[in-house]
């Protein structure tokens, strides 16, 4: 084994890539998700496995120095993993769709947050109109308070009220 951290890193990554190819299990998604491009593979960092991310040029250099068959062997294994393990996901991953369940969930959460922000903005614009109408009418303030409480319970937000105008 080598004393060089980057050299040890490429050796460890190569061993993990071999395991991912041989075992074909979901526990190696962290590798299979990065096999689309050489630079993505080179950037993998896994502290627990002593794998450090690096620039593609450095990655090629250390692979040629520490891996039997050099960078060509690593790149061929990358292509094999991509072909074998992600054959159904290759077209999808290039179109920007999530590769694993975590990315899919994060994407869904982001979409929900955007939709919530759109709803809150639209509601606030409508609310501004309603505030002007209520200011001119004394009978609807109780209904408006009920409506405001319902809004707060739906969105977890409190409406801002300008107390200086009252």
pLDDT digits 0-9 by tens, 111-143? 888 888 888 788 777 777 777 676 666 666 676
pLDDT digits (tens, 9 = 90+) for 96-118: 555 678 888 888 888 888 888 88
**3 state DSSP class of 46:** strand
Q: Domain spans of the chain? A: 5-95, 105-155
Q: Which of 77, 115, 110 is nearest to 96 (CA)?
A: 110
Q: Whole-angstrom Cα distance, residue 130 to residue 74? A: 65
- 58 half-sphere exposure, CB direction, 13 A CA radius: 12
Helix (H) or strand (E) holding 147: helix 141-155
Q: Count of CB atoms within 10 A of residue 53's CB?
A: 16
Predicted TM-score (pTM) of this structure: 0.51
């Amino acid at each position: 084994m080598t004393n060089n951290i980057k050299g040890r890193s490429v050796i460890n990554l190569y061993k993990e890539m071999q395991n991912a190819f041989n075992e074909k299990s979901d526990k190696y998604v962290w590798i299979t998700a990065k096999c689309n491009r050489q630079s993505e593979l080179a950037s993998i960092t896994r502290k627990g496995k002593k794998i450090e991310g690096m620039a593609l040029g450095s990655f090629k250099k250390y692979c040629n120095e520490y891996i039997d068959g050099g960078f060509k062997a690593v790149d061929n294994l990358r292509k094999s993993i991509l072909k074998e393990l992600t054959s159904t996901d290759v077209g999808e991953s290039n179109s920007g769709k999530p590769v694993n369940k975590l990315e899919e969930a994060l994407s869904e959460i982001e979409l929900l947050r955007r939709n919530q922000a759109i709803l809150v903005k639209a509601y606030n614009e409508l609310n501004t109109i309603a505030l002007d109408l209520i200011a001119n009418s004394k009978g609807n303030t109780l209904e408006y308070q009920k409506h405001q409480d319902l809004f707060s319970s739906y969105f977890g937000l409190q409406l801002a009220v300008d107390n200086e105008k009252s």
